[in-house]
Copies of this chain bind each other. A is one copy, B any other.
């Protein structure tokens, strides 16, 4: 690997981390390399930089394409494929979240829904279904929130994040207004 120490360290670290996520080492390394490279790279450059086989690069790039994490570029007068990553980190994050949701959350959600439709066959089952219901509610709330928030432009998202839990101050305000506007039950908590 003939890379600057900084780049090399980053690439190796990402490889390691990759295997803690579902993606494998090579895929992580390739992604990291593309991410820090100013210009798009072709497969052979990756082979050389990471010292792995050509076919491994090919398969890993294919996987990254499946995750929508790389962009294909063509240089005029060159038939090779060149690859980069999208350059807006928020965009990348959103893609990642989207893909992981598709693979890791949606299937669970649909299994849960299905199981909740079954008539319970025992007391044990009834209890289990309660628990499944709780899990279902939780996941559904989170995904609804996510679907809602993911549409925000990066700038607003940053503002939202910066606000953090202070948002609940607004919630208090809103509660108070709503409760005044309605029947005036109890005053909101202090």
Contact = CB atoms under 8 A, between A and B. Distances in A.
A144 to B, nearest CB: 7
| Count of this chain's copies in the oligomeric assembly | 2
Contact of A168 (B4, B90, B108, B152): B152
Interface of A: 4-7, 9-10, 13-14, 17, 20-22, 35-38, 89-90, 93, 103-104, 107-108, 111-112, 115, 118, 120-122, 124-125, 127-129, 131-132, 134-135, 137-138, 141-142, 144-145, 148-149, 151-152, 156, 158-168, 170-171
23 contacts: A4-B121, A4-B122, A4-B128, A6-B121, A6-B128, A6-B132, A7-B124, A10-B128, A13-B107, A13-B108, A20-B103, A20-B104, A35-B131, A36-B131, A37-B128, A93-B138, A141-B158, A141-B161, A145-B162, A149-B164, A149-B165, A151-B165, A163-B171
